[in-house]
Structure 1
């Protein structure tokens, strides 16, 4: 019957939401709700009536409005932003109520009083990528307006909208001097992704297990908070949804978050099963789901193990989703955090081209926000890798000196950022300042022991300094926390196992990795094969190693093999001569001049 009542019509749709709604509610729930009610009554409702619109629905921090005319929709949106800016005058920056607005003209499906279809979806997507205080329009709206309104536009070009097959042309209204300023406390230029963890459901039928289940949920919130690139909603706000049947989109709007993590726990005898899933609150789609089965032995060890596994995988999938969103945004609206994410992806290729692209993207991040520690740290890491990929035309120590200075700056900008500490530790390795490196790696681990990438770098540091037992354990943790590990994990793993004389294990990892994962990749495998007596394979890999190095060499074109090997031992900061001698023996057996 509902299908028979549904109708289609062309409509202009205005979608708006409040920036940082979850944070405002945490600071002052009663005051925020009172402010929103007042502004709806005194600003929104009169403006919609004045421009002949219809409020389709109010959604906590958002609103959906239908207009018969694109001109009326845009005029209402512009006036709405102007009046909101006036209402914010005299209000503390961290208490300002700032909107972002999207307007689209398209076909909608009418069912009762509600609207559905691409016409609505595109308006909501435009609102989600709009900057605070801005109005974003679809090209279809602009075409209808022509010169009928005294407003100007910035053309942001075509934009890929999630779940919409065709690119959508996007324009931003120039609001001039009356455009509301962006409150720095609400919307920093690196714009952290936001997440809430809902209380996991108890499927055991035993209320006595609630303490264990709440413990896992609280541990997940705590461990997620270690990733300071995330905005994590506090327990008090997310636990308000305990026992309620929830709609992800509605909860996302009410808490002002882009992602939800939810799950359930069932305890049966000596067995515990935990399920977890990560949800995109804008589209409602499930980004990741996993199930964990454990024997109920040490309850606290289980709690810690499961929490860390869930957190690590959720963060990795969240970053993947964020990168997909970046592809659909006009370059003018990409934030420092998103430039950093793109740079991180390019860096992980571990190729000359990838490093050059990573440097460009990290520079964009710092251009957007000069005080963004992650962007500065990314630049430090690229320069630290320069002698491996880009800049061998200068003395070996020069890029590392620049890298170390940038890494120090990053750590000063944000002393709580474990990523900056990892890179600062790594940058101390090349000038062989091992005690300083240890201090920073230990601090990074204390700040966040759940970052699988960080554990890979830490395991390498431990192997370079002959702490083999801990190196192998740390490497194993990284692989467990990120079972969908990339090839560069394998490359670092090979280094760890060769330095720790686990040659068989090094070859096992080598069989899994692509042959171009790292320029020096065949060299390490040559050493492993040589020490295992596989001399023909060792010589073949040794030849491949020299060919790879010459292919990216940026130094003296007449350099001999010994010069290339000198670079190898500079680029691998091995602390103890016994480990260097073991590598030298392997290379000689593989037929290399050292």
Structure 2
């Protein structure tokens, strides 16, 4: 035996393809029983130099714990690992700030892929077997930070395996007579496991016995595409249209991906996975199939003299139809501010467009199964109309979603929102318990997903109408910390800031939301009009509110603004519309609804409504 091979045989072997395994030099398994210990080793081993900071590891494995408690859990996991390693404990080194794995003392199966050494996997046969083994197969760490990392790594290592397969031209013969058609197998696999299905489905097209070449995925059925994660998206590398240094396009693409990952309802493919397909002459359908996504983003970067233009389009991968496109022009003299603004706006816009597209699918056909996300999309679609009946219907859908998946935070966000509105519009009797329950449901959402901005925003809204202004603003600040580019959160926070008394900042926040979401919904205008009303700029309030397509929620402010300007005829017309759309409306109830910290704007509103004849 050669010396190099002898050294390799004396190393500890770490297997990350398939189920995690740690094997001593004597061939005996020394795998830690605790899955978080296994995950810890995987997190460190997959870093570029085999080292991770303690803070980073705590964030990935114990994101729901306080820093001191997370550090204690990390120390316990390291102790467990050292006991399992026994005499080979020198494989792992630690200091006050980091954890390191001695890559020179272990044999890592992934290195065969990154270095193209298929011989270390005993040739193409074992490599083909590895296609059927997912990265860290079967591991179940219920931490959203770890799950995000795991999804990214699984996509990346699957692509690496496919690349090595192509290089080695490994094409096993499948007995077609004993196998169903490729398409049928794809659908069967995806039905049983969406994540493994995406991986194995593409693998079938790569190595099938009918001679399909690498990447022939046009036969992927509509059902297979629909089995992919909803709201899944990949941002492709921007095309360099003017010979600029490549790092510019790479950086803009990376910034958009980074901003998109803050929207927790999106399944975003990592940049290094989408970069694999840059320059390939493949259709959107083929790329979507390989990456396992429904949506693709592509575009171009162009510079002429001192002017810069960036173009984007959002594509439905299955139909190859463009859903949205836009372009942005800027100046090289302020290039960094321009790029920041563009990436923020585009990320927010893409989130809105993908969500709208998924809601449109739900509107065309109600979900035949009880998947939580489908129910939530259906609930959001119904909830767009602010009526007693739609409020109750939407809440039932959100409650069903919570029954299907009790750990999905967005269900509780939806329940909280509908309860909040039921209190505001007097749709429940008695109304008071609804607002308390809205707070409780928002707190459940935050506990389940502390990184999602929408949970904090729902809590901020509920606290606002309980007139706990400090708690409301604190919740909205947490929401913006989680996602500073969520246009809806910005507009809502503008409302909270306005009723707190800082109307100038409120106008600034809402206008920023409008820049991030240029096709904004009516309620942005409603909050902006209310800010102008609080500033006693009734003319601007009327102009703003009259831009709303559906003025149902504007009638109160339009009635009061016109009355306070002495236009009683117009005020009474709007008052009639108000009572027609909200027959439950009374001054006695509404006196307690507007959450202004200073009672003066609320008193002006009530005076204007009373002057127009509302009782």
CA-CA distance at 1:571 after TM superposition: 2.0
Specify the alignment match of 1:193 in structure 2.
231
Partners of 2:545 and 2:551 within 8 A in 1: no
1:126 aligns with 2:242: no
Mean CA deviation greater in 23-32 or 487-496: 23-32
**Which residue is equivalent to 1:468?**
503
Contact 2:556 2:575 in 1 (8 A): yes
Name structure 2 gaps, 5 residues minimum: 1-131, 135-149, 203-210
Could you tell me how far 1:344 is from its partner in structure 2? 1.4
Residue 347 (structure 2) pairs with residue 311 (structure 1): yes
Deviation per CA, 1:184-214: give whole Å up to 9, x if none: xxxxxxx55221111111212333xx33333
CA contact (8 A) 1:421 1:443 kept: yes
Compared CA separation, residues 296 and 589, structure 1 to 2 (3 A): farther
Show the counterpart of 1:219.
Answer: 255
Cα drift, residue 588 of structure 1:
4.4
Mapped partners of 1:192, 1:515: distance in 2 = 30
Offset at residue 505 of structure 1 (A): 2.2
Structure 1 equivalent of residue 242 of structure 2:
204
Query: 8 Å contact 2:409–2:446 — kept in the other structure?
Result: yes
Moved over 6 A (4+): 17-22, 32-38, 93-98
1:407 partnered with 2:407: no
Aligned: 1:486 with 2:521: yes
By how many angstroms is 1:398 displaced? Answer: 1.1
Instruction: Name the residue aligned to 2:174.
Output: 46
TM-score, L = length of structure 2:
0.67
2:566 equivalent in structure 1: 533
Cα deviation digits, residues 402-425 of structure 1 (max 9, x gap): 111111111101100101110011
Higher relative contact order (CA 8 A, sep 6+): 1
Shift, 1:265, TM fit: 1.3
Q: Distance in 2 between matches of 1:435 and 1:262?
A: 42
- CA change 1:504–1:245 in 2 (3 A) is farther
More off after superposition, 270-279 vs 343-352: 343-352
In 1, Cα distance between the equivalents of 2:269 and 2:225? 19
Residue 591 of structure 2: aligned partner = 569
Q: Distance in 2 between matches of 1:452 and 1:269?
A: 33
1:318 is displaced (CA, Å) by 0.9
Q: Does the 8 Å contact 2:308/2:332 carry over to 1?
A: yes
Aligned counterpart for 1:542 among listed residues 552, 557, 575: 575
- Could you tell me which residue of structure 2 aligns to residue 440 of structure 1? 475
Shift of 1:30: 4.6
In structure 2, the CA distance between the partners of 1:588 and 1:204, relative to structure 1 (3 Å rule), is same
User: Residues 218 and 328 (structure 1 numbering): CA distance in 2 closer, same or farther, change over 3 Å?
Assistant: same
Shift of 1:18: 11
Tell me, in whole angstroms, the C-alpha distance in 1 between the residues paired with 2:201 and 2:300.
35
Q: In structure 2, do the counterparts of structure 1 residues 232 and 380 end up closer, same or farther at CA, with 3 Å as the change threshold?
A: same
1:421 matched to 2:456: yes
SS in 2 for 1:512: coil
- In structure 2, relative to structure 1, the CA distance for the partners of 1:95 and 1:351 (3 Å cut) is closer
Deviation of 1:400 after TM superposition, in Å, equals 0.3
Verify the 8 A CA contact 1:25 1:32 in the aligned structure 2. Answer: no
Q: CA deviation at 1:569?
A: 2.8
In 1, distance between residues paired with 2:572 and 2:514? Answer: 30
| Partner Cα distance (1:416, 1:349) in 2 | 28
Aligned mates of 1:585, 1:81 — CA distance in 2: 65
Normalized per residue, which structure has more strand?
1
- CA shift, 1:376, in A, is 1.0
- Measured after TM superposition, the shift of residue 338 of structure 1 is 2.2
The question of 1:24 aligning with 2:24 is answered: no
More helix by share: 2
Alignment partner of 2:384 out of 335, 348, 357 = 348
* Matched residue count: 456
Q: In the alignment, is the contact (CA less than 8 A) between 2:230 and 2:294 conserved in 1?
A: no
**How far is 1:568 from its partner?**
1.4
Partner of 2:314: 278
TM-score normalised according to structure 1 size: 0.69
SS at match of 2:338: helix
Larger CA deviation: 243-252 vs 441-450 = 243-252
Deviations 1:291-327 (A, max 9, x none): 1122333212101111122112211111122123335
**Is the 2:412–2:445 contact (alpha carbons within 8 Å) kept by the matching residues of 1?**
yes
How far is 1:501 from its partner? 2.5
Change (3 A) 1:474 1:37: same
1:510 aligns with 2:541: no
The 1-side partners of 2:155 and 2:546 are apart by 53
Is the CA contact (8 Å cut-off) linking 2:362 and 2:377 kept in structure 1? no
Matches within 5 A, 1:313-332: 313-327=349-363, 331-332=367-368
Distance in 2 (CA, whole Å) between partners of 1:351 and 1:505 is 27
Could you tell me how far apart the structure 1 residues matched to 2:237 and 2:460 are? 37
Match of 2:487 among 452, 469, 490: 452
Distance 1:454 1:52 in 2: 49
Aligned-partner Cα distance in 2 for 1:421–1:270? 42
What's the CA shift string for 1:24-70, capped at 9, x where partnerless? 232565567789999x977xx534233586xxxxxxxxx54xxxxxx
Q: Contact 2:522–2:550 (CA<8 Å) still a contact in 1?
A: no
CA distance 1:98–1:240, change in 2 (3 Å): closer
Offset at residue 329 of structure 1 (A)? 6.0
Give 1:130 deviation, angstroms. 4.8
Residues 330/47 of structure 1: CA separation in 2 closer, same or farther (3 Å cut) = farther
Residue matched to 1:587: 609
Is 1:384 equivalent to 2:417 in the alignment? no
Q: Deviations over 1:472-496 (max 9, x none)?
A: 0111122222222233333333222
1:522 corresponds to: 555
Q: Secondary structure at the match of 2:330?
A: strand
- How far apart are the structure 1 equivalents of 2:405 and 2:287? 30
Counterparts of 2:347 and 2:281 in 1: how far apart (Å)? 24
Q: 1:528 to 1:81 in 2, by over 3 A?
A: closer
